[in-house]
Structure 1
Amino acid sequence: MHKTRNINLDLIKVLACIGVVLLHTTMVGFKETGSWNLLAYLYYLGTYSIPLFFMVNGYLLLGKKEITYPYILQKVKWILTIVSLWTIIVWLFKRDFTVNPIKKIIGSLLQKGYFSQFWFFGALILIYLCLPILRKFLNSKRSYLYILSFFVATGLIFELVNIILQMPLQSYVIQTFRLWTWFFYYILGGLIAQFDKEFIKKCFKRWMKIASVLLMLISPLILFFLAKTVYHNLFAEYFYDILFVKIVSLGIFLTVLTLSLEENKSKWIVTLSNQTMGVFIVHTYVIKVLEKLLGFSYTGAYLLFPILTLCVSLIVVSLLMKIPYFNRIVKL
């Protein structure tokens, strides 16, 4: 039986991928001065990329009727294979032979090593290992709500402490281990998967979509203000716990999920979606190359940087996908 592909999830992945690139390319244009500009706006607009990635993954896996350890271990094995192969490639290219590559592999999963963005894979592995047990507790929509309420309360406690301390308490925990946050978004995606898509379309009214888009568009102003006056830290990673970002992330996800998209007219979305993981992997090294080539002596370079990074990353990934064996390590 042919399974219909969910193009809406593909589009969410594409938007999340663009958001990750924005997070890693725009801060250089306002970090030193800490002043508000277009790059600051684009940076905080990218805040929703990581929540969306976790929600998509949760939607796909928790949407399954059964999750077994053999299935999970196979997925974990493939993640470790991808992380290991890319680490070895860079290790060989750099001739970093005085360093144990195993330490670099583990380091990448812990926001260190050659690929600091691989903390996402580290967090994903920890979530995967809990899924077969967690799935037994998530046996009804009510159970989803109970667990989500617990993680919302945990996030609110963190935010209250952050306001009191005037700094992000999360800064003491590397992103890999901020599981109270990642479990929330993952399970939220799983909860959405429990509802029929047509039912969601019926319930998620047009005014809700408009409100979600408007909140997303004005949110960079709010987040920048909080970063400057409350957190005294510009990094967007410390906003994932606040209730406002959770609500907007949900609104964005449902807005895109309920769009009317036809598969035969949206092949470009599928093509880009298939490249998102590859872009996630290579874009940090594309950034390093462009930094050396471009420099940042004028404002225009900053504005071009996200566009160039995304375009070059897509070109690199599309070429790698045409090479035997390499085409396997740019997909997850």
Structure 2
Amino acid sequence: MRKYRNINLDLLKVLACVGVVLLHTAMGGFKETGSWNFSTYLYYLGTYSIPLFFMVNGYLLLGKREITYSYILQKVKWILITVSSWSVIIWLFKHDFTVNPIKKIIGSLIQKGYFFQFWFFGALIIIYICLPVLKKFLNSKRSYLYILSVLLVVGLIFELTNIVLQMPIQTYVIQTFRLWTWFFYYLLGGFIAQFDKDTIKNRFKRWMKIIVVLLFLVSPLILFFLGRTTYHNFFAEYFYDLLFVKVVSLGIFLTIFSLALNQDNNKWIVFLSNQTMGVFIIHTYIMKLWEKLFGFSFVGAYLLFAIFTLSVSFIIVGMLMKIPYFNRIVKL
């Protein structure tokens, strides 16, 4: 009997992966000028990628009946193996022998190593360690709502403070440790997992999906306006506590989750989904390859930059997945 796979979650992972690449490739197209252009629009569309990654992970793990420490330690072990392996590879490639590789490995988890995006793994490790205990309290939908409400209020306090101070105070906290935000999205994914998929499909009406799509499409305008007039900072990482972003993130998740997808007819989704973590890992170095080969001195450079980074990353990860050992450190 073939094991059932929720292909909707795979599609969410693929979209989140594309969003991360947009976050890292489109920013340079408008940050220096602070003006609105196509790069600005693409950049802010990528805002929802990190919330979706946490929500998918939360759905998968908190959807389990039991979470044991032995299971969690296995998850943490493979994250550390992946982070360590890639850090050592770059350490050797750069001949960076005057630097202690252990510092680079640990640094990567707090945005100070060779892979600044590995802060995500650092946050995941902290969340994972808390899950066995947290799962005991999350014994009903009501308990989820209680904790989510507390985290929502904490996020709102941060946002109100940002508005008053006219700057994001999250700048004082490394992304790894903005746990009030990451736990919110993680538990939100877990809360959705408490509902039957067919129930979600029936309750999430077509008109709701239309509203979500419209909000998603206009959201770059809203976020750019806030960044320019209120936050005085354009980085999307400071918008994750916004109630608006949380509502749209939830809406995107439910919209994709409630689509009628057939695994046999959409094998490409599973194929790409299996490569998303690898793309997340290596895409920043593909970006550096573009910068060295082509630069940005021609029209359309930033759009091609994003397309090049995404496509080449998927191609390379696809090849790495066929190589023993490498296939394990590009797929968590």
Which bin holds the TM-score, normalised by the shorter protein? over 0.9
1:290 aligned to 2:286? Answer: no
| Structure 1 residue aligned with 2:197 | 197
Residue 304 of structure 1: SS of its match in structure 2? Answer: helix
| Structure 1 residue aligned with 2:234 | 234
Output the CA distance in 2 between the equivalents of 1:35 and 1:267. 40
Output the CA distance in 2 between the equivalents of 1:263 and 1:68. 30
Amino acid at match of 2:100: N
| Structure 2 residue aligned with 1:11 | 11
Output the CA distance in 2 between the equivalents of 1:275 and 1:247. 28
| Structure 1 residue aligned with 2:173 | 173
Matches within 5 A, 1:1-332: 2-332=2-332
User: Could you give the per-residue CA deviations for residues 98-155 of structure 1, whole angstroms, max 9, x where no partner exists?
Assistant: 0000000000000111000000000000000000000011000000000000000000
Output the CA distance in 2 between the equivalents of 1:299 and 1:156. 40
User: Could you give the per-residue CA deviations for residues 72-105 of structure 1, whole angstroms, max 9, x where no partner exists?
Assistant: 0110011000000000000001010000000000
Output the CA distance in 1 between the equivalents of 2:298 and 2:40. 16
- Deviation of residue 301 (structure 1)? 1.0
Output the CA distance in 2 between the equivalents of 1:4 and 1:326. 26
Amino acid at match of 1:237: E
How does the TM-score come out when normalised to structure 1? 0.99
Structure 1 runs not aligned, ≥5 long:
none
- Deviation of residue 302 (structure 1)? 1.3
- Deviation of residue 323 (structure 1)? 1.1
- Deviation of residue 252 (structure 1)? 0.1
Output the CA distance in 2 between the equivalents of 1:13 and 1:112. 25
Aligned sequence identity (%): 78
Residue 327 of structure 2: SS of its match in structure 1? Answer: helix
How does the TM-score come out when normalised to structure 2? 0.99
Output the CA distance in 1 between the equivalents of 2:151 and 2:299. 41
- Deviation of residue 3 (structure 1)? 2.5
User: Could you give the per-residue CA deviations for residues 284-325 of structure 1, whole angstroms, max 9, x where no partner exists?
Assistant: 000001111111112311111100100000111011111111
List structure 1 segments (4+ residues) > 6 angstroms apart after TM superposition.
none
- Deviation of residue 21 (structure 1)? 0.1
Amino acid at match of 2:15: L
Output the CA distance in 1 between the equivalents of 2:9 and 2:112. 30
Output the CA distance in 2 between the equivalents of 1:111 and 1:295. 25
Output the CA distance in 2 between the equivalents of 1:112 and 1:46. 23
Amino acid at match of 1:214: L
